[in-house]
Amino acid sequence: MAIALTFQDKIIPTDKQGYLLDHLLWQRELAFIMAKNDEFELTEAHWEVINFVREFYLTYNTSPAIRALTKAMKAEFGAEKASSRYLYKLFPEGPAKQATKYAGLPKPARCI
Amino acid sequence: MTVLNTQIASTELPASGLAIINSKAPFSSTHGKDALDVALIFGAFEQKVSLFFQGDGVYQLCANQDGRLVSIKDYLKTFSAFEFYDIEDIYVCQQSLANRQLAEDFHIDDVQVLSSIDFGTALNRHQHVLRF
């Protein structure tokens, strides 16, 4: 189902799953709107991951698969927050999939 | 005698894992990007994968290239994320570099420069080989 995102009187183009087509159009406020449409609440813990995933994408030009994400997060946040268990608790539909969406990034092609 | 021992040792090692050979320059075709995608998928599933660069494929390791200048996503930036996918064995053919007058200077760390013979030996240690 296509969701038309309207933000500050502008239409933000997304794919049919709601991922932004242009990650440069992303803003923090946009993530709240996307999450609201999904009836999903973003806490500070979610933001930690969202910001991290976005930073990863901007650095490496790719959205991380879950294993790469946990490995990369380990260095930054320590082992406790870098487990897939912790991440799945935050993002039950799949951390890589959900966090990249709210981070305004394309859906990871090799998404596990 | 030393040579003989080496040969025995190398034939006794069981072949394992996947080798991906990169033999095309970046951005002129999708070969490089396709090879990268396969490598990351294997890495994401904790499968052992090694990368080999030979022929024009060595251009993929040269610094200061940006695909955006030719309207292609710069997938070479993703090479720096290999550590998160446990991709640690990266080999480049010395002869291929020399033929193109390229320095042994790469945009990622831990690249092993091998002579043609050692390059072939390293390749032989793998059970499967994909060529791009």
Q: What is the mean pLDDT of chain A?
A: 88
Cβ atoms of A101 and A34 closer than 8 Å:
yes
Total domains in chain A come to 2
Lowest pLDDT segment from A15-19, B73-77, B122-126: A15-19
Q: How far is CA A73 from CA A12, A22, A44, A78, A83, in A?
A: 30, 25, 16, 7, 9
How many A×B Cβ pairs under 8 Å?
A: 47
Q: Which of B34, B37, B84, B86 is the best residue to mutate to test the A interface, defined by the most A CB atoms within 10 Å of its own CB? A: B84
**Maximum Cα–Cα distance across chain A:** 42
User: Whole domain around residue A71: which residue ranges?
Assistant: 44-102
pLDDT at B11: 54
The DSSP result for A39-92, as a single string, is T----HHHHHHHHHHHHHHHHHSSPPPHHHHHHHHHHHH-TGGGSHHHHHHH-T
pLDDT at A107: 82
User: Whole domain around residue B38: which residue ranges?
Assistant: 26-131
Same domain, A27 and A71: no
pLDDT confidence bin for B5, thresholds 50/70/90: very low
Q: What CATH number corresponds to the domain at position B32? A: 3.40.1260.10
B46–chain A Cβ distance below 8 A for any pair: yes
Same domain, A50 and A92: yes
Identify whether B8 is part of a domain: no
| pLDDT of B43 above 80 | yes
Identify whether A111 is part of a domain: no
Identify whether B108 is part of a domain: yes
Closest among A93, A106, A104, A51 to A73, alpha carbons compared: A51
Q: For residue A62, list chain B residues with Cβ-Cβ distance below 8 A.
A: 40, 75, 78, 81
Same domain, A19 and A48: no
The arithmetic mean of pLDDT across residues B42-66, rounded, is: 95
Closest among B56, B47, B66 to B107, alpha carbons compared: B66
Same domain, A24 and A62: no
User: What is the distance between the alpha carbons of residues B9 and A58, in angstroms, rounded to a whole number?
Assistant: 44
Total domains in chain B come to 1
Same domain, A57 and A95: yes
Q: What CATH number corresponds to the domain at position A77? A: 1.10.10.370
pLDDT at A101: 94
Identify whether A51 is part of a domain: yes
Identify whether A109 is part of a domain: no
pLDDT at B13: 65
Q: Which residue has the higher pLDDT, A2 or A107?
A: A107
Same domain, A21 and A52: no
Q: Which residue has the higher pLDDT, B73 or B81?
A: B81
pLDDT at A7: 79
pLDDT at B25: 96
Same domain, A67 and A98: yes
Q: For residue A110, list chain B residues with Cβ-Cβ distance below 8 A.
A: 37, 40-41, 44
Residue B76 C-alpha, separation from nearest chain A C-alpha, in angstroms:
8
Q: For residue B44, list chain A residues with Cβ-Cβ distance below 8 A.
A: 65-68, 110, 112
Identify whether A112 is part of a domain: no
Bridge partners for B50 per DSSP: B19, B89
Query: Has the ipTM of the complex gone over 0.85?
Result: no
Same domain, A28 and A48: no
Cβ atoms of B14 and B124 closer than 8 Å:
no
Cβ atoms of B100 and B25 closer than 8 Å:
no
User: What is the distance between the alpha carbons of residues A14 and A3, in angstroms, rounded to a whole number?
Assistant: 7
Bridge partners for B124 per DSSP: none
Cβ-defined contact of B45 to A112 (cutoff 8 Å): yes
C-alpha torsion B55→B57→B62→B67, nearest 10: 140
